[in-house]
Amino acid sequence: MTDIIHLLPDSVANQIAAGEVIQRPASAVKELIENAVDAGSSVIKLFVKEAGKQLIQVIDNGKGMSETDARLSFERHATSKIQKADDLFAIKTKGFRGEALASIAAIAQVELKTKRPSDEVGTQILIEGSEVQSQQPCSTPVGTSIAIKNLFYNVPARRNFLKSNSVETSHIIDEFQRVALAHADIEFSFNHNGADIFNLPKSNLRQRIVNVFGATFNQRIVPVEEETFIVKITGFIGKPEYAKKTRGEQFFFVNNRFIRNAYLHHAIQSAYEQLLPRETHPSYFLFLEVDPKSIDINIHPTKTEIKFEDEKAIYAILRSATKKSLGQHNISPTIDFEQEASISLDGPPANKIIEEPKIRVNPHYNPFKSQTTFENSRDFNGPSLKQKSNLQNWDKLYETHVNSPAAATFTLDESPKQEIINPQWENDFSEVSKSLCYQLHNRYILSHIKTGFIIVDQQSAHERILYEKFIQFLQHHRSGSQQLLFPETVEFTASDSALVMAMLHELNDLGFAIEEFGKNTFVVHGIPPLLKEVDSKVTLERILEEFKKNQSELKLNTGENLARSMAFNAAVKSGKSLSGEEMKNIIDELFACSQPYASPSGRPTLTTFSLDDLERRFKK
């Protein structure tokens, strides 16, 4: 037999390798900006078109490259940053693998222009799918400009895999912010589709944080400082009263490199113990400096994870430094300084990985999937919001009942099986409509149905009702808007305002009358009548928070996500006392929904008990 193994051509090998390094436009942005930082630039400009799908360009004023280096920079494992294996343990630059440019060139059309301060003329290279198209002298300022066009143009599968522009843009903003925060002494700008998103002059860290996240941050943060022989910690932490529902602004940098580390995160979180309302997260911007020999940054291709030699000690120091800062700034007067200042090294065991509990939600979960009547369950054109579908839905309610007599608890991974339908149940709707409702513990609505009783979770049910209404508004591109007497101007952080821009249509379809009004500012003329909140900024901020949370956890399209976030915000909450009328409305409207049985995030909305269930319980 003939031999069958052969070496892949470079272009194919590079494409495969590229998958590791460049997953999306944001990864290319990160690599280019980091290269600019490594080149000693003092000004770095980022230009992006169509969320990076069309263009990503980084222009720097760094040291530039020679003609030969320019050509070599696109070779795999070509780097000026390390020379021998030992260097891996003393890394001071962002890059060191020499893979980024080779990867990018394998999957895009790239134009590089570069000139060193000592050169008369610069050099220009055009490269496409790893093939150099041309290299020639050119006139260009000192520094480097790299333009990446049509990312993944030759890997359609990857291109199709990219998310909507708003999602990809927010990933780019994340990467940009990380590098910008790590290098306050460098001037950065970011322009998307011709609009300036960030203009960050050279400054100190506090000013940089404020420039990135908005003026309100100035009063929200307090400094942290601690120096020990193992680690030096500097930076800022958020005051507890500004903690957020989402883990938005949490940044660790180790030797100026952004990292994630659940273990160290836990150190911070635990320092805030008792100071935070439940399920809120503090902001932090913390810089750890350690001996490069004591960390291994070589364990992950995209390099956001690193291993520490002294993780346990760093945990304790970090926790104590955070506590100290909270105490010093009179945020937690009860802290005992003496005790806190003497660092105890018994944090959690060093090799224990602390993982945040995660809630997994299946957005497509439908407990009745197997039922034929639910075939169009994702098609919201169906029932008009009141009447007609009521009976049909009561049918379905009956089905729940017969399917799960054992208290009708919903098991998320099992859809009930179809059974015979008892036509008598159809009458139950009129019955429940007429019957009185009782509220239990300001949380559940109890009502009588012909063959037993029903308990509705008021919050989940209302979320479901609002969600379906919002989805309808989106589909018909209209909903009423309640005009504000005095239009309000609302300012967002740059990244939030990019999000708002990307969802402006949907917001207006949903009943906001909102328009852009210059830099990061919007005018709100009206709000959806279903949102009772009067402060439109607070309302919008809450919706955005929820939206971002959904965005990171679930893969929803913008409209669905917004509808969900708005429903979540506007729904009556557990704990609210309801009038008889309000309870009846909830029940009526719930059964007019196309999927009445679960909230948009999959929590059950109701459960039924039959007389049989009751009888059984009272048997001797």
Q: Which is nearer to ligand ADP, 115 or 469 (CB)?
A: 115
Locus of tokens 């955005």: 544
596 contacts which partner out of ligand ADP, Mg ion, none, CB within 5 to 8 A by kind?
none
Rule CB under 6 A: choose which of 79, 130, 170, 472 binds ligand ADP: 79
3-state secondary structure 357-413: CCCCCCCCCCCCCCCHHHCCCCCCCCCCCCCCHHHHHHHHHHHHHHHCCCCCCCCCC
Q: Which is nearer to Mg ion, 39 or 254 (CB)?
A: 39
Structure tokens at 313: 């000690």
Residue 130 beta carbon to ligand ADP: minimum distance, rounded to whole angstroms: 13
3-state secondary structure 84-116: CHHHHHCCCCCCCCCCHHHHHHHCCEEEEEEEC
For 286-313, letters b (16+ CB in 10 Å) and e give bbbebebeebbbeeeeebeebebebbbb
Locus of tokens 């308990």: 455
| Signed CA dihedral, 70, 72, 76, 78: sign only | negative
For 13, residues 6+ apart whose C-beta sits below 8 A from its C-beta are 76
Q: Should residue 95 be labelled a site residue for Mg ion when binding is judged by CB under 5 A?
A: yes
60 contacts which partner out of Mg ion, ligand ADP, none, CB within 5 to 8 A by kind?
ligand ADP
Locus of tokens 């949907």: 506
Rule CB under 5 A: choose which of 35, 144, 250, 371 binds Mg ion: 35
* Residue 82 and residue 96 in contact, taking contact as beta carbons nearer than 8 Å: yes
401 contacts which partner out of ligand ADP, Mg ion, none, CB within 5 to 8 A by kind?
none
Structure tokens at 507: 């917001």
Q: Should residue 81 be labelled a site residue for ligand ADP when binding is judged by CB under 6 A?
A: yes
- For the window 87-126, what string marks contact with ligand ADP as x by the rule CB under 6 A? --------xxxxxxxx------------------------
Among 367, 571, 610, residue whose Cα is nearest residue 458: 571
98 contacts which partner out of Mg ion, ligand ADP, none, CB within 5 to 8 A by kind?
ligand ADP
Q: Should residue 60 be labelled a site residue for ligand ADP when binding is judged by CB under 6 A?
A: yes
570 contacts which partner out of ligand ADP, Mg ion, none, CB within 5 to 8 A by kind?
none
* Residue 590 and residue 444 in contact, taking contact as beta carbons nearer than 8 Å: no
Residue 99 beta carbon to Mg ion: minimum distance, rounded to whole angstroms: 8
Q: Should residue 328 be labelled a site residue for ligand ADP when binding is judged by CB under 6 A?
A: no
Residue nearest to ligand ADP (CB): 95
Q: Which stretch binds ligand ADP (CB under 6 A): 79-87, 124-132, 253-261, 328-336?
A: 79-87
Q: Should residue 144 be labelled a site residue for ligand ADP when binding is judged by CB under 6 A?
A: yes
Q: Should residue 31 be labelled a site residue for ligand ADP when binding is judged by CB under 6 A?
A: yes
Q: Which is nearer to ligand ADP, 78 or 504 (CB)?
A: 78
Q: Which stretch binds ligand ADP (CB under 6 A): 71-79, 150-158, 211-219, 593-601?
A: 71-79
Q: Would you tell me how many other CB atoms lie within 10 Å of the CB of residue 408?
A: 23
Q: Which stretch binds ligand ADP (CB under 6 A): 59-67, 191-199, 427-435, 545-553?
A: 59-67
* Residue 173 and residue 148 in contact, taking contact as beta carbons nearer than 8 Å: no
Q: Would you tell me how many other CB atoms lie within 10 Å of the CB of residue 464?
A: 28
Q: Should residue 14 be labelled a site residue for ligand ADP when binding is judged by CB under 6 A?
A: no
39 contacts which partner out of Mg ion, ligand ADP, none, CB within 5 to 8 A by kind?
ligand ADP
Number of residues that bind ligand ADP (CB under 6 A): 23
Q: What is the CA radius of gyration of the chain?
A: 29
Structure tokens at 576: 């609210």
425 contacts which partner out of Mg ion, ligand ADP, none, CB within 5 to 8 A by kind?
none
Q: Should residue 80 be labelled a site residue for ligand ADP when binding is judged by CB under 6 A?
A: yes
Structure tokens at 171: 């990933």
Q: Which is nearer to ligand ADP, 60 or 457 (CB)?
A: 60
Distances 288 to 220, 224, 259 between C-alpha atoms, Å: 21, 11, 10
Residue 381 beta carbon to Mg ion: minimum distance, rounded to whole angstroms: 50
- Residues making contact with Mg ion (CB under 5 A): 35, 95, 100
- Residues making contact with ligand ADP (CB under 6 A): 31, 35-36, 39, 60, 62-65, 73, 78-81, 95-102, 144
